[in-house]
């Protein structure tokens, strides 16, 4: 079995201006930098990417964007292209449920973004997850499978190990009601099997799959004690330096890979 390096990413969403973003990274950078065996990523808003990138230079903390456009360039007012991100970011969150819900992003659109990001050497963090109604109707597997097949269509199997997938059940996001470790593990095991069906056992074994939804320092241990879960995509708790550092620290203790 592949030794998958855990990855903890903080999604700052539409919070913090430039000064506040710098303050937050300043508060936690020394601590984060010291923690080994875990990939650490922060994802500020677009306007804070360049200043935070400058601040992170020479550290082990990586930078991610929260979205990208599906075209490289064009008359798309307000759009931000992977060409503008590739020199700044190592990661980009794509297909987040908030993008799907409020900006009408479809699997097809997410797929175009995923392919473009890979082509420009930015690692996509591809988000999938069912909403409460779908969950209660017992449709989790169907919904998540459709999203995964659509979002990851047409890749080269060799590209898949570089991807990160985030399983974020919509009912767990920002609600304080995280999925149980076992529940998330079961869905993530299913997602991994599906990656295997699409791209083969080697790709499935190597791809990292995170859980996201109300992750905090008090439940990260439960999440990461599950064998299929390779990390977390953290929203609210990533805006608090001590919380985020504690999450990353625990990830290193529980699952840290030897480097």
Query: What residues line the site for ligand 13P (CB under 6 A)?
Result: 11, 96, 168, 173-174, 212-215, 233-237
- Write down the catalytic residue from 96, 105, 130, 243: 96
Closer to ligand 13P at the Cβ: 44 or 236?
236
Q: How far is the CB of 56 from ligand 13P (least distance, A)?
A: 20
Closer to ligand 13P at the Cβ: 34 or 242?
242
Q: How far is the CB of 239 from ligand 13P (least distance, A)?
A: 9
Closer to ligand 13P at the Cβ: 8 or 61?
8
Alpha carbon 255 to its chain centroid, in Å, reads 17
Tell the burial category of 145 from Cβ atoms under 10 Å away from its Cβ (0-12, 13-18, 19+). middle
Bridge partners for 62 per DSSP: 41
Instruction: Determine which helix (DSSP H) or strand (DSSP E) holds 94, and give its type and residue range.
Output: strand 91-94
Supply the DSSP string of 125-144, one letter for each residue.
EEEE---HHHHHTT-HHHHH
Burial 191-203 (b: 16+ CB within 10 A, else e): bbebbbebbeeeb
Instruction: Determine which helix (DSSP H) or strand (DSSP E) holds 231, and give its type and residue range.
Output: strand 231-234
Q: How far is the CB of 215 from ligand 13P (least distance, A)?
A: 5
Annotation marks residue 34 as catalytic:
no
Annotation marks residue 168 as catalytic:
yes
Q: How far is the CB of 27 from ligand 13P (least distance, A)?
A: 19
Closer to ligand 13P at the Cβ: 116 or 126?
126
- Write down the catalytic residue from 98, 105, 130, 168: 168
| Rounded CA separation 192/121 (Å) | 23
Catalytic residues, by residue number, are: 96, 168
């Amino acid at each position: 079995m592949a030794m998958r390096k855990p990855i903890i990413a903080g999604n700052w969403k539409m919070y913090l201006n430039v000064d506040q973003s710098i303050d937050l990274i300043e508060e936690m950078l020394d601590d984060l930098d010291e923690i080994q065996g875990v990939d650490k990523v922060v994802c500020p808003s677009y306007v804070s990417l360049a200043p935070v990138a400058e601040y992170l230079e020479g550290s082990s903390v990586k930078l991610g964007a929260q979205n990208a456009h599906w075209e490289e360039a064009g008359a798309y007012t307000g759009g931000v292209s992977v060409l503008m991100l590739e020199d700044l970011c190592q990661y980009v969150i794509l297909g987040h449920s908030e993008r799907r819900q409020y900006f009408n992003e479809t699997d097809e659109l997410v797929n175009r973004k995923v392919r473009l990001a890979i082509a420009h050497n930015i690692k996509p963090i591809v988000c999938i997850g069912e909403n409460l109604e779908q969950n209660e109707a017992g449709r989790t597997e169907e919904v998540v499978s459709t999203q995964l097949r659509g979002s990851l269509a047409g890749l080269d199997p060799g590209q898949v190990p570089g991807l990160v997938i985030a399983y974020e059940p919509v009912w767990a996001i920002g609600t304080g009601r995280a999925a149980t470790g076992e529940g998330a593990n079961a869905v993530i095991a299913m997602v991994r099997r599906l990656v295997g069906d699409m791209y083969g056992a080697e790709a499935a074994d190597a791809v990292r799959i995170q859980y996201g939804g109300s992750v905090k320092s008090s439940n990260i241990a439960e999440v990461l004690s599950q064998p299929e879960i390779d990390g977390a995509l953290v929203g609210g708790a990533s805006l608090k330096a001590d919380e985020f550092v504690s999450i990353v620290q625990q990830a290193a203790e529980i699952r840290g890979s030897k480097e």
